[in-house]
Structure 1
């Protein structure tokens, strides 16, 4: 039963579009134990945090409709009272406007792909607004496909081995999804989650209480970093200082290359990471919306004598994914960039 509802629960907390949810078949949903599990794991008001009421309403209506379609004998088959009570409470709530929905900050919980052999679910909670555009036209207040792709790689044994025990810095972290995953589940020595937007940094700090397990220090350090300026050596980053320098072993970046205009500054920052922050390798994931744009970045790496290696990792198809769900309709590539020798 757990396997039958696990994927649905994971998609639900990641705010999958309701028609795209992988609902169990009707005969499975008819089982009283399955319906009670759905209530306990998806709609019980004591769960924290829950998706917005409008989203919960849409999903629960879909589930109830599927159950009702499957009922063949009304005397034998029935809807769970807790599910019906939850639906009654939800439909009675005031409906927010389209503008309110677009600006709404929500807690989104991501579940990593299953390990082999399976262990307990590895989850990360972020704060996001799917419709909010920040200053400069950036959309860092949501987790994009390239970050989910890179997260899936880091969730694999090969990916985890690159960051475990290492000092990590993430560029353009946005929601902090990758950094939070590293801090909570991948055994990093420490991770600095950097972005230029102060509002995103504050959101990341708020996320700590939903991800910290209360066992030892949580090695996650959000920091404002505007490329082209030095990263400030604050007291919070003291553990990353050796001698006079901030030092990192690995840098991460996802979906940083969306405009050719930003490439020179990104290349300069990569050089800065290698020369002044002692980074050994930069792992970057990019959605190839425009292959020419990304090729411009790769050409720039070659011109700077950086070594570029394509990592042999492909996301599984959307239908086969069981965690960090993301579209694969547009190719996503992952590279390791090493400093010039």
Structure 2
């Protein structure tokens, strides 16, 4: 299954793919009336748009290319004189550029709108193709149980789904990294979609459900819920931060309608943008070291359910390694009835080694999952990433690990 040039452009634009990396279509294709309609319907018509500066640069590039392409189309002999007279660039593109320029100038002068300098909060939308099934993960386990070739390699029976997130476009905000989606999460998501039998092979997955630790923007939780899993998504915070937007009321729009920069508040907002069935809960890893009767109630629920644990890019701070490993230890079953899948970008080898050593001290067995390489430029669509990454972590290594609890003698 291949994507058209325009569809690739759409997915790159909505995910805020860096402009210098975007593959813009040939000018005459952009100027084509059918292409203009696609751009208006599928890009301008999207309800959650990227931030204004990105939009302004993107659409200026597109309009400039359209103008070049229009001249080429007008010179082509297959068009009649009447058809050439009707070739034009839709005024809505110029209107949009004008509005974005006015907004940008107003921000620069401090007269209106959010400041154009400093960190930006923006929507990102990740669009992916998936099998057309509401119970995708159960089908995966059934396929594996019967030794049938992985059905996700087929290109029929597919449809599109979308993950919409509100993110910060800086690495750390207010001491947390949880307000943007990181490469390790996108990498794990790629392999869940492309090679689910290698990552989520647990046949009890669909029955026990999934628990995400340090969910951040909620990207993985949303994806897994869209694929049919029962998901509890957790992060640091107080339980009131996980309240439904509808429960809070619409009067406090900026703080509760996604502008809250607490990890749990943003997580809840993002989840509600894309799915209904994810449960968002506060979970402090430090509470795992407390006596069972002293822990918040969520711990007893999670211990009883023994869900498959999923986490991405949670191994970055050496001070967080002990409580993280202890949390995994507490939540894993002694009889090996559940597992943890951790995707980690190895930025600091010492911190990563500390994680592995601490797992050993807790009698946790860590095995590295060998997954097929991701090849963005290859012909095999199964090797191409379904999500357009911002390329911030391209030079670093991502490890995907399976963690099981060893029975203590």
Deviating more after overlay: 15-24 vs 98-107: 98-107
Change (3 A) 1:160 1:282: closer
What is the 5 A alignment of 1:248-263?
248-263=306-321
> Higher helix proportion, which one?
2
Partner of 2:63 in structure 1?
A: 64
Task: Give the deviation of 1:265 after TM superposition.
Answer: 2.0
Match of 2:162 among 123, 132, 137: 123
When residues 293 and 314 of structure 1 are mapped into structure 2, their CA distance, relative to the original with a 3 A threshold, is: farther
Q: Shift in Å at residue 6 of structure 1?
A: 1.4
Aligned equivalents of 1:250 and 1:87: distance in 2? 47
Q: For residues 22-72 of structure 1, what are the alpha-carbon distances to aligned partners after superposition, in whole Å with 9 as ceiling and x for unaligned? A: 21222322322112211211123xx31122222211110111122233333
Q: 1:322 to 1:278 in 2, by over 3 A?
A: closer
Instruction: Give the direction of change, closer, same or farther, for the CA distance of 1:60–1:319 in structure 2 (3 Å limit).
Output: farther
Measure, in 2, the Cα distance between the counterparts of 1:316 and 1:28: 29
Residue number in structure 2 paired with 1:82: 92
Find the partner of 2:224 among 182, 187, 198: 182
Specify the alignment match of 1:336 in structure 2.
402
Q: How does the TM-score come out when normalised to structure 2?
A: 0.71
Maintained 8 Å contact 1:248/1:278? no
State whether residues 28 and 72 of structure 2, in contact with CA within 8 Å, keep that contact through their aligned partners in structure 1.
Answer: no
- Structure 1 residues 270, 292: CA separation in 2 closer, same or farther (over 3 Å shift)? same
Structure 1, unaligned runs of 5 or more: 213-217
Q: 1:278 to 1:174 in 2, by over 3 A?
A: farther
Q: Which runs of 5+ in 2 are unaligned?
A: 76-83, 109-113, 131-151, 242-261, 289-294, 379-383
**Residues 345 and 396, structure 2, Cα contact 8 Å, conserved in 1:** yes
Distance 1:155 1:306, change over 3 A: same
C-alpha spacing 1:288/1:208, structure 2 compared with 1 (3 Å): closer
SS in 2 for 1:126: strand
Tell which deviates more after alignment, 225-234 or 7-16. Answer: 225-234
Displacement of 1:99 in angstroms is: 5.5
CA contact (8 A) 2:129 2:159 kept: no
Distance 2:353 2:20 in 1: 36
**Contact 1:249 1:278 (C-alpha < 8 Å) held by counterparts:** no
1:233 corresponding residue in structure 2 = 297
RMSD of aligned C-alpha atoms?
2.9
Q: Which runs of 4+ in 1 moved over 6 A?
A: 276-279
Alignment of 1:32-71 (within 5 A): 32-44=33-45, 47-70=46-69, 71=71
Aligned to 1:215: none
Deviation at 1:228, TM superposition (A): 2.0
Q: Distance in 2 between matches of 1:225 and 1:80?
A: 51
Query: How many pairs does the alignment contain?
Result: 325
Q: CA deviation at 1:281?
A: 0.5
Query: 1:261 offset after TM fit, Å?
Result: 2.8
| Deviates further, 269-278 or 308-317 | 269-278
In the other structure, the counterpart of 1:5 is: 6
Structure with higher Rg: it is 2
